[in-house]
């Protein structure tokens, strides 16, 4: 049986406002925080709306809710009118009043080296920013709950509660300081000579020459290095890190100082590669690439500066 569109003419306006808050935040708790209500009140209102529509609007998950296709259709129909009504009914800001700060979150390295410099013109023009750093999954949970306006995520969020667009691709590079690079070239030449290769012949880089070189990485489970090994060498990386630093800028500093080798995003080490303070040990034709996404809750944000930040980031990312 195919159900027709939800009839909205007789639905309670307050219930629709609460519905839209749940839809945009991805949870009853997040909607309660946005609306200044208790979580049980939001739950009661959503049950009442489901009784009125005769349809299930949200699938309850262990963490938050997932909108059904009926909820998607309803949100499409009511979001713009409710946003316009809120703009008309809301208090008129006094002349010269500043918009609320834009809450932006993402990986510390990308924010500090690339994103914040790109947003400097907006800040100079009066836009206020509140920046948070962290891992993608917790930041997306906080976005659903209304704590952030925009999140730069290293993976595309699942489900339909968030809207994501590709922002930038980061290429990963196998790097070491010049002193290690020179030693490794010698090992590679010696290995090729022992295997009978022609002098001067260019042989594929053998990762075995790295067996006793300290590995500096972001985390104990070697997420970036393991991905590089699978993609480039077609094998599993079995190593224990010599140094773990939960900030890739710290990894970069340690490797540049001669601590060992690592795999880093090219944007983070491009200047050191150009100056010779870091050396790319390998330049594969098909390097590993990771796509970052700019994520927000569905619907038009109340703060116009959110749209300005989003538009500038998408424009600036074309040159990253």
**What span, in angstroms and rounded, lies between the C-alpha atoms of 57 and 74?**
9
Q: Where are the alpha helices (DSSP H) in 7-126?
A: 13-25, 28-35, 39-53, 69-89, 108-110, 116-124
Q: Are 85 and 30 in contact (CB under 8 A)?
A: no
Q: Which tens digit of pLDDT belongs to each residue from 85-98?
A: 765 655 544 545 56
Q: What is the pLDDT of residue 168?
A: 95
Q: Which tens digit of pLDDT belongs to each residue from 235-274?
A: 999 999 999 999 999 999 999 999 999 999 999 999 999 9
159's CB contacts (< 8 A; 6+ apart) are 26, 66
Residues 136 and 195 placed together within one structural domain of the fold: no
CATH of the domain at 50: 1.10.10.10
Q: What is the number of structural domains in the chain? A: 3
Q: Which tens digit of pLDDT belongs to each residue from 165-190?
A: 999 999 999 999 999 999 998 888 87
Structure tokens at 159: 């489900």
Domain housing 302: 102-162+297-319
* Structural domain contains residue 63: yes
**What span, in angstroms and rounded, lies between the C-alpha atoms of 140 and 234?**
32
**What span, in angstroms and rounded, lies between the C-alpha atoms of 320 and 307?**
20
Q: Which tens digit of pLDDT belongs to each residue from 279-319?
A: 999 999 999 999 999 999 887 677 889 989 999 999 999 88
Per-residue confidence band for 202, with pLDDT thresholds at 50, 70 and 90 = low
Phi, psi angle pair for 278, to nearest 5°: -130, 155
Residues 282 and 175 placed together within one structural domain of the fold: yes
* Structural domain contains residue 7: no
Transcribe 164-200 into DSSP letters: EEEEEEEEEEEEE-HHHHHHHHHHHHHHHHHTTPPTT
Q: Which tens digit of pLDDT belongs to each residue from 207-233?
A: 999 999 999 999 999 999 999 999 999
User: Where are the extended beta strands (E) located within 121-162?
Assistant: 129-133, 150-153
Residues 182 and 253 placed together within one structural domain of the fold: yes
Q: Which tens digit of pLDDT belongs to each residue from 116-141?
A: 999 999 999 899 999 999 999 999 99
Q: What is the pLDDT of residue 201?
A: 46
Mark which of 44, 59, 87 sits at the end of a domain: 87
CATH of the domain at 183: 3.40.190.10
Q: What is the pLDDT of residue 88?
A: 61
* Structural domain contains residue 3: no
Mark which of 37, 57, 87 sits at the end of a domain: 87
Mark which of 60, 87, 114 sits at the end of a domain: 87
Q: What is the pLDDT of residue 300?
A: 66
**Does residue 200 carry a pLDDT above 70?**
no
Residues 195 and 282 placed together within one structural domain of the fold: yes
Q: Are 154 and 292 in contact (CB under 8 A)?
A: yes
Per-residue confidence band for 197, with pLDDT thresholds at 50, 70 and 90 = low
Residues 107 and 73 placed together within one structural domain of the fold: no
Residues 179 and 270 placed together within one structural domain of the fold: yes
| Pairing label, strands 102-106, 216-217 | unpaired
Residues 273 and 308 placed together within one structural domain of the fold: no
């Amino acid at each position: 049986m195919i159900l027709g569109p939800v009839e909205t003419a007789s639905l309670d306006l307050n219930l629709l406002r609460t519905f839209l808050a749940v839809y945009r935040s991805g949870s009853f708790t997040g909607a309660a925080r946005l609306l200044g209500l208790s979580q049980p009140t939001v739950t009661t209102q959503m049950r009442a709306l489901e009784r009125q529509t005769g349809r299930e609007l949200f699938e309850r998950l262990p963490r938050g809710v997932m909108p059904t296709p009926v909820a998607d259709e309803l949100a499409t129909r009511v979001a713009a009118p409710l946003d316009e009504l809120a703009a008309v009914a809301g208090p008129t800001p006094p002349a010269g009043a500043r918009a609320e700060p834009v809450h932006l979150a993402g990986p510390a390295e990308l924010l500090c080296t690339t994103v914040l410099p790109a947003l400097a013109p907006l800040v100079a023009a009066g836009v206020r920013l509140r920046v948070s750093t962290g891992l993608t999954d917790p930041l997306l949970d906080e976005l659903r709950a209304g704590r952030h306006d925009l999140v730069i995520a290293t993976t595309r969020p699942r489900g339909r509660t968030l809207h994501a667009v590709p922002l930038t691709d980061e290429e990963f590079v196998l790097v070491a300081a010049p002193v290690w690079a020179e030693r490794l070239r010698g090992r590679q030449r010696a290995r090729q000579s022992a295997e009978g290769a022609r002098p001067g012949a260019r042989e594929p880089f053998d990762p075995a020459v790295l067996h006793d070189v300290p590995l500096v990485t972001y985390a104990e489970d070697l997420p970036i290095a393991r991905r590089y090994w699978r993609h480039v060498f077609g094998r599993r990386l079995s190593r224990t890190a010599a140094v773990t630093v939960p900030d890739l800028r710290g990894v970069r500093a340690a490797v540049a100082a001669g601590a060992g080798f690592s795999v880093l995003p090219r944007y983070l080490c491009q200047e050191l590669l150009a100056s010779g303070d870091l050396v790319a040990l390998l330049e594969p034709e098909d390097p590993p690439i990771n796509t970052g996404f700019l994520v927000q809750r569905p619907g038009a944000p109340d703060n116009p500066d959110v749209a300005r930040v989003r538009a500038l980031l998408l424009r600036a990312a074309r040159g990253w």
